[in-house]
Amino acid sequence: MSTKRLTDTPADIGIAAAILADGGLVAFPTETVFGLGADAHNPHAVAGIYAAKGRPSFNPLIVHVADITMAQRYVHWTDTAQQVAQAFWPGPLTLVLPMRGDAGLAPAVTAGLPSVAIRVPRHAIAQAVLRDFGRGIAAPSANPSGKISPTQADHVIQGLDGKIDAVFATSLCDEGLESTILSLLDAPTILRPGTITPSQLADVLGTPPNQRTVTADHDSSAEIQAPGQLLSHYAPNGSVRLNATAWQAGEKRLGFGEVECDLNLSPSGDLREAAANLFIMLHQIDKLSGDKIAVSPIPQIGLGLAINDRLMRAAAPKP
């Protein structure tokens, strides 16, 4: 198939919604990364996402909705959900909540789980497509499974050209890291760190959320709480060495702060800038010659938690 390039115009928003209604796949920008969208109610369309990405079928998808009212069609809403949604939606927060009996989602969206991961993206194109389409759009990040997430249309095209119906070819993702995932099935628990930090959530919840610690057995489908948190993920082609305080010969150097390097996530040591640059620079450094990448230490505070989570997965041995 040839992948249509869409622009940020009302006419193309309408074309995207029509492709989705027809069971097709459309990659669209959100404020975090590009999503690969399909009609969340259409089992055939959702199967297409897993096929295009080469994604393991035990790894469920996030349902994107336009607003809280649309979210309530799919999940049992709670007071805590209302509190955090009011504070952070639209924005880079995904909530895991019990699925309603009448949700009508394709079973593959939740990989058979009784819960749904749901979020309201802030990006104008994502919002416009959702409003035009009028129901939930299932969308994982628009990259081949296990590879670096796309924050530019070019990244999507590199990974999925010819495998999907259309991609919005103009917009950018300003946050650059995937959403924070907060499970509200039990006591609030962060399943995946993101640009909304534990302390921001604590301010709204009144107490700090639990944080799932990362261990090697996240690679198994038995890790049902965040089954997609595969240990090896965001994988560049070369090996990745973390917390490099000195460079070794032949390494491609991804720096942070005032260091001599090939690419710098943030020369001034700003974590927000580093988060926005991380996937772009991993894509870029992958293309330089050499097969070893080394990365400066990133402070394990605030946004640094999310950056280090992605780096740790980028550095993990590949299956």
Q: Which residues bind Mg ion (CB under 5 A)?
A: 141
Whole-angstrom distance, CA of residue 164 vs CA of residue 19: 11
Query: Is 140 a binder of ligand TXA (CB under 6 A)?
Result: yes
Site stretch for ligand TXA (CB under 6 A), options 10-18, 108-116, 253-261, 288-296: 108-116
Query: Is 110 a binder of ligand TXA (CB under 6 A)?
Result: yes
Query: Is 195 a binder of ligand TXA (CB under 6 A)?
Result: no
CB atoms within 10 A of CB 102: 7
Site stretch for ligand TXA (CB under 6 A), options 154-162, 222-230, 287-295, 298-306: 222-230
- Please, which residues have CB within 8 angstroms of residue 71's CB and are 6 or more apart in sequence? 65, 77, 85, 95, 118, 120
Site stretch for ligand TXA (CB under 6 A), options 10-18, 55-63, 271-279, 301-309: 55-63
Out of 90, 176, 188, 227, the only residue in the binding site for ligand TXA (CB under 6 A) is: 227
DSSP string for 30-88? -SSS-EEEEETT-HHHHHHHHHHHT--TTS--EEE-SSHHHHTTTB---HHHHHHHHHH
If contact means CB under 5 to 8 A according to the sort of partner, which of Mg ion, ligand TXA, none does residue 115 touch?
A: ligand TXA
DSSP string for 115-157? EEEEE----HHHHHHHHHH-S-EE--BSS-TTSPPPSBHHHHH
Query: Is 127 a binder of ligand TXA (CB under 6 A)?
Result: no
Number of residues this chain uses to bind ligand TXA (CB under 6 A): 29
- Taking 3-state DSSP, the helix, strand and coil percentages for the chain, each rounded to the nearest 5, stand at 30, 20, 50
Query: Is 160 a binder of ligand TXA (CB under 6 A)?
Result: no
Out of 19, 25, 46, 61, the only residue in the binding site for ligand TXA (CB under 6 A) is: 61
- Whether 27 and 36 have beta carbons less than 8 Å apart is answered as yes
192 or 253: whose CB is closer to ligand TXA? 192
Site stretch for ligand TXA (CB under 6 A), options 53-61, 152-160, 240-248, 269-277: 53-61
The secondary structure element, H or E, covering residue 277 is helix 271-287
- Whether 92 and 122 have beta carbons less than 8 Å apart is answered as yes
Site stretch for ligand TXA (CB under 6 A), options 57-65, 154-162, 241-249, 299-307: 57-65
Residue nearest to Mg ion (CB): 141
DSSP string for 12-29? HHHHHHHHHHTT--EEE-
- Residue 101's SS3 state is coil
Query: Is 307 a binder of ligand TXA (CB under 6 A)?
Result: no
29 or 304: whose CB is closer to ligand TXA? 29
* The dihedral sign for the CA sequence 49, 53, 57, 59: negative
Nearest approach, Cβ of 117 to ligand TXA (angstroms)? 3
If contact means CB under 5 to 8 A according to the sort of partner, which of ligand TXA, Mg ion, none does residue 193 touch?
A: none
Using CB under 6 A, list all residues that contact ligand TXA.
30, 32-33, 35, 59-62, 92, 94, 96, 110, 113, 115-117, 139-141, 178-179, 181, 191-192, 225-229
